[in-house]
Amino acid sequence: MRGPAGDGGRARAARQSWSGRLRWTAAGRVALAGAGAAVMAGGLSGCSHQPGRQTAPAQPAVAPVRVSAAELARLPRATTFARIRSAPADQAPFALTGGLVVHPLQPQVLYAAPGKQPVAVLPATELGGPTWVPVVQASPGWDRVLLPSRPNRATGWIFTGGSERSRLQIRRSSYLIRIQIGARKLSVDDGGRSLGTWTVAVGAAGTPTPAGRTFLLALLAPPRPTYSPLILPLGLHSDALSTFGGGPGTVGLHGWPDRSVFGHAVSNGCVRVPAAALHLLSGIPLGTLVLITR
């Protein structure tokens, strides 16, 4: 998958159409970007409210380790282009989540665990749009989130207590995207209701689609698309390729002009989907969980 670019009327139209279809439940809370690439991602508003979030007031939150300005500057940024070597691995890579997703309104320090050392900084934007990451574990005053960086399924803890709460937007996505590599199937559920299942193309034997849970990272709209009008990078990277198309080997979902590929293992690791599936996927909120199984 190459690094697409987006600008002008086409890009604005894609952003407006996509952001207009974002839906959240009332409960509350890629190797893509090459040089000169511009990115599309829908904006959200009015999301700092957190109704329905469960807390444990009887158990005090562990205070975060203080980080000086100098230390902060040295920490790696958790983007799709980075490798966060000290980030803890996801301990339940095939488990579902409660649907909570977090957007930092300003860069947030990521920690190895509550009260432990900092490992990275989660930026407020990713590939030109807002950063939204899924919560995979919670502790009083802390949320553990999946990161978009290498290694695959890297995680980090964000302190959500005290004044930090006002620097985060937390929502709950009702959607779940499932990809079955062996069956070559992609399905989308909304609150447990099926919205459709499609036959797709997956990674070839030498460049397989990685398995595990990940998330929708961004929405890209190439101004002169060659193989897909929209591309949705995931928080996941190829295990076989360190780079392709000039980027960091990020795996994504995108369309394909030749429908004969669907049902086959032919890609560099990305998942090629039919037009109807791509249209539906482009309206799903960033941060939504994507569960990839073999």
The predicted pLDDT at position 58 comes to: 52
**CA nearest to 127, candidates 48, 233, 266, 211:** 233
Is residue 106 within 8 Å of residue 199, measured between CB atoms?
no
Residues of the chain with pLDDT under 70: 1-58
β-strands 155-159, 231-237 pairing? unpaired
The predicted pLDDT at position 50 comes to: 42
Residue type, 178: R
The predicted pLDDT at position 51 comes to: 39
Question: For the segment 24-59, what is each residue's pLDDT rounded down to a tens digit?
Answer: 433 333 333 332 233 333 333 223 334 344 544 557
Q: Which residues contact 40 (CB under 8 A, 6 or more apart)?
A: 6, 11, 14, 15, 18, 128, 129, 218, 219, 220, 221
Task: Write out the two tokens for 60.
Answer: 């005090």
The predicted pLDDT at position 162 comes to: 83
Is residue 291 within 8 Å of residue 178, measured between CB atoms?
yes
Would you list the domain boundaries of the chain? 175-293
- What length does the chain have? 294
| Superfamily holding 175-293 | L,D-transpeptidase catalytic domain-like (2.40.440.10)
Question: Strand 185-190's sheet: what is its strand order?
Answer: 193-199, 185-190, 175-180, 289-293, 212-215
Q: pTM of the entire structure? A: 0.83
Task: Write out the two tokens for 18.
Answer: 């996509």
Diameter over CA atoms, the chain = 58
Is residue 264 within 8 Å of residue 183, measured between CB atoms?
no
**CA nearest to 216, candidates 272, 151, 284:** 284
Burial of 201 (0-12, 13-18, 19+ CB in 10 A): buried
Rounded CA-CA distance 101/28 in Å is 10
